[in-house]
Structures are given as C-alpha cells and as structure tokens.
Amino acid sequence: MNTSAKHDAWSAGDSYEQYMGRWSRQVAVKYLDWLNAPNNLDWIDVGSGAGALSAAILDQCNPKSVHGIEQSEGFVTHAKSTITDDRAEFSVGDAQNLIIETGSIDVVSSALVLNFVPDKHAALTEMKRVAKPGGIVSFYVWDYPGISVGFMSAFWKAAAKLDDKAEDLKEGKRFPFCTPEGLTELCHKAGLKSVTVKAIDIECVFPTFDDFWHPFTLGAGPAPGYCMSLDEPHREALRGLLKETIGSKGEIVMPARAWAIKSEV
Ligand SMILES: C[S@@+](CC[C@H](N)C(=O)[O-])C[C@H]1O[C@@H](n2cnc3c(N)ncnc32)[C@H](O)[C@@H]1O
C-alpha cells in the first residue's frame, strides 16, 4: 500500500454510513434517475460497501437481481443484515477479478469506488467482460479535482494548515484523473465505447458542527482514518480550527459533485 492510501480504512458499516453513506445515497438516487434503466434486469454493484447503491437500485429500478461485490467482509456483513430483499445478494470479492460469469450482467454499476482500486484498468476491463452484449457499464466517482466534496475539502484544508504531510493526502491530489476527460480516457483504454458523462450535484447539510465533526472520529474512510491516526492534542487542534473557520454559525451547508459515466457494451 502506498503512503497516501494507508488511511483508506473501509470496514465498519455504521461508521461509514455517518461519514459517507448518507451522501452516497443521495447521489445514487439521482444517478439511477439519469441511467433510466428498464425493469427486470440483472445488476451488479462493484465495491458495494454498506449497500447504498444496491438499496437504491432495489427501491427505484425494479431489478430482477442485484449482486453487491465488496472487498471488505465487515461491509458485506453490514449490507446483508440491513438489506434483506430476496433479489439482493452480497459477496466478498475484488473489483479487479470479478467472481462473475462473462457476458452475464445487464447493468454493471459501481459507486465511489474506482479511484480506490489499485488497478483501475483491470477493474474497468472486468466490468466490461461481465456485461451482456447490449448491456451497460456505468459508475460514478466524486469530482475530487473540482467541486469535490465540501466537507472533505474543508477537513484537508484545515489539516494541511497544521500538518505538512496532510497536503499529499487530499483526494484532489491523489485522484487527479477524476475529471470527465480523465475518466473517459480510462474507459476508452479499457475498450468501452460511446461513453457519456453527467455531473451529479448534491448539498451536504450538517445541522450542527458536531454532526459535521463526529464522522471524522469514526475512522471509516481516508479523512477519518487520518483523523484517528492523530494523537488527542493534534486532533483537538484540528477540531478547534475547523470549528473556528466553518462551524461558528450553526448549520453548515456544503456542495458535492460526482461524475457519472455510462457506456453501452
Ligand atoms: C467510498 S466506498 C463506496 C461504497 C459504496 N459503493 C457507496 O456508494 O457507499 C469505496 C468502497 O470500495 C471498496 N473497494 C475498494 N477497492 C476495492 C476492490 N479492489 N474490490 C472491491 N471493493 C473495493 C471499499 O472497500 C469501499 O467499500
């Protein structure tokens, strides 16, 4: 694992829900509206995490089946216990080597995962391999180099003021390819054609500063992983700086943008 990836802690479903799941769910709803896939299809959700996208597919798309494939056993256990729909199945697996038959899936989807996969080309090639002819390969990632996710940007900006090393951990630096051009190029290299890109914007609303800060103390995800690697005085200094800069006026409202990609196979 490279040093910037060492805080990418994915395992505890409840903690993830508070940090990212609640926002990921909002993007999933808009993404599926855009995808506008027919009913009664077989879907996979690559890197399904705690199940945010799978749950939205079940709610919105009337699928025949949804199979979530996720590397973290903790997340798979969480998804199995919270999503009990008979059409859903969750397995531990790797996006770079999918445990799925070639040409068997109508809609291959993935939410906020591709940038974390070490070999993105392998993941996209696998996503294409398992799609049926005429099927869809589609995914979304945060617009890290651009509008990004307001609460992450605010966190890293404050962290970098207190710790030089935090500068290199910012997702915008780690994932510069998360632009329409960068993602389209990755898709083309994996043999995906007729690629379309759509911006999906949401607003992250935190009623209080504690609602903003608490998820960073739960350790699930890169920024929370970094936050919990700090000793108590340094963490308190970071909390204090954030409270002073963004948390002094009550409700905090921040934008977030994801890029959604679709390709017909
Ligand atoms: C930001 S979370 C997104 C989770 C979920 N899709 C959502 O929208 O809430 C990234 C997820 O990708 C998973 N992941 C990262 N690399 C993976 C890989 N090579 N294979 C499968 N899952 C992977 C992580 O374990 C984590 O659950």
CA-to-CA distance for 56 and 61, rounded, in angstroms? 8
Give me ligand 1 centre to Cα 250, in Å: 32
Ligand 1 mutation pick, 18, 80, 96, 113, max ligand atoms within 8 A of CB:
113
Q: How far is the CA of 113 from the centre of ligand 1 (A)?
A: 5
Pairing of strands 131-142, 252-264: antiparallel
Domain range list for the chain: 3-264
The three-state DSSP-derived secondary structure of the chain is CCHHHCCCCCCCHHHHHHHHHHHHHHHHHHHHHHHCCCCCCEEEEECCCCCHHHHHHHHHCCCCEEEEEECCHHHHHHHHHHCCCCCEEEEECECCECCCCCCCEEEEEEECCHHHCCCHHHHHHHHHHHEEEEEEEEEEEECCCCCCEHHHHHHHHHHHHHCHHHHHHCHHHHCCCCCHHHHHHHHHHCCCCCEEEEEEEEEEEECCHHHHHHHHHCCCCHHHHHHHHCCHHHHHHHHHHHHHHHCCCCCEEEEEEEEEEEEEC
Separation of CA 96 and ligand 1 centre (Å):
12
Q: Is pTM beyond 0.95 here?
A: no
Question: Was domain 3-264 assigned CATH 3.40.50.150?
Answer: yes
Angstrom distance (rounded) from CA 203 to CA 212: 13
Position 46 scores a pLDDT of 98
Average of per-residue pLDDT across 137-162: 95
Q: Which of 14, 23, 29, 71 to mutate to test the pocket of ligand 1 (most atoms within 8 A of CB)?
A: 71
Q: How far apart are CA 87 and CA 157, in angstroms?
A: 43
Instruction: Supply the pLDDT for residue 5.
Output: 58
Task: Using the predicted structure, report yes or no on whether residue 13 has a pLDDT greater than 80.
Answer: no
The answer on pLDDT for 188 being more than 60 is yes
Using CA atoms, how far residue 88 sits from 43, 79, 80, 109, 231, in Å, is 10, 10, 9, 14, 41
Find how far residue 176's CA is from the centre of its chain: 15
Give the model's confidence band at 56: pLDDT under 50 very low, under 70 low, under 90 confident, else very high: very high
Higher pLDDT, 12 or 119: 119
**Distance from residue 212's CA to the centre of ligand 1 (Å):** 22
Residue 139's nearest CA partner among 59, 231, 33, 32 is 32
Res 217 pLDDT > 70 = yes
Q: How far is the CA of 232 from the centre of ligand 1 (A)?
A: 29
Residue 161 pLDDT > 70, yes or no? Answer: yes
Q: How far is the CA of 132 from the centre of ligand 1 (A)?
A: 23
Examine the pLDDT at 11 and tell me if it is beyond 70.
Answer: no
**Closest ligand 1 atom, residue 53 Cα:** 8
Instruction: List beta partners, residue 258.
Output: 142, 200
Pocket of ligand 1 (CB under 6 A): 10, 20-21, 24, 47-49, 52-53, 70-72, 75, 94-96, 111-113, 116-117
pLDDT of 6 > 80? The answer is: no
pLDDT at 2 > cutoff 80:
no
Please tell me the least confidently modeled range out of 9-13, 117-121, 160-164: 9-13
By CB atoms closer than 10 A (0-12, 13-18, 19+), residue 165 is exposed
Of 199, 194, 169, 173, give the one whose Cα is nearest residue 184.
194
37-51, 179-193, 220-234: the lowest-pLDDT one: 220-234
